[in-house]
């Protein structure tokens, strides 16, 4: 595995409130010994009937990765999970690619028209 490839945690089945600590422990174990800055990804393709417990677990996973020095995003999120993340205001934080160096996301440095 190359140092540029993300560390992937696959989450499947239904997620219950009691699953969040276990998932965070699994992510911590995956990131053990990995130099800070390497991206982590939660593959949510296997989630079944995602609810608020899944949203909570994903938010906790992001916090855990951040504390260990790794950006985290969610990929392969089913439409119902995407809707819940949007409803809770977490879609931009979890579904977007991680910020690049200096905390910047990809894009232009030009100002928006009409904002001078």
Answer yes or no: are the C-beta atoms of 101 and 68 closer than 8 Å: no
- pLDDT at position 96: 74
C-alpha count within 13 angstroms, C-beta hemisphere, residue 90? 22
pLDDT one-digit tens code per residue, 49-67: 999 999 999 999 999 999 9
Q: Which helix (H) or strand (E) holds 111?
A: none
- pLDDT at position 4: 76
pLDDT one-digit tens code per residue, 67-107: 999 999 999 999 999 999 999 999 999 997 655 554 444 44
Q: What sign does the CA torsion over 50, 54, 59, 62 have?
A: negative
Which DSSP category does 45 fall into? E
45 pLDDT above the threshold of 90: yes
């Amino acid at each position: 595995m190359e140092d540029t490839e993300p560390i992937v945690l696959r989450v499947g089945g239904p997620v219950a409130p009691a699953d969040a600590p276990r998932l965070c422990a699994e992510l911590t174990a995956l990131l053990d010994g990995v130099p800070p800055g390497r991206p982590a990804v939660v593959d949510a393709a296997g989630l079944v009937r995602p609810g608020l417990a899944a949203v909570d677990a994903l938010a906790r996973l992001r916090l855990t990765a951040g504390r260990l020095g790794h950006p985290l995003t969610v990929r392969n999120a089913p439409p119902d999970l995407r809707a819940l993340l949007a409803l809770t205001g977490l879609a931009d934080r979890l579904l977007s690619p991680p910020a690049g160096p200096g905390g910047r996301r990809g894009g232009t440095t030009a100002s928006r028209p009409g904002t001078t």
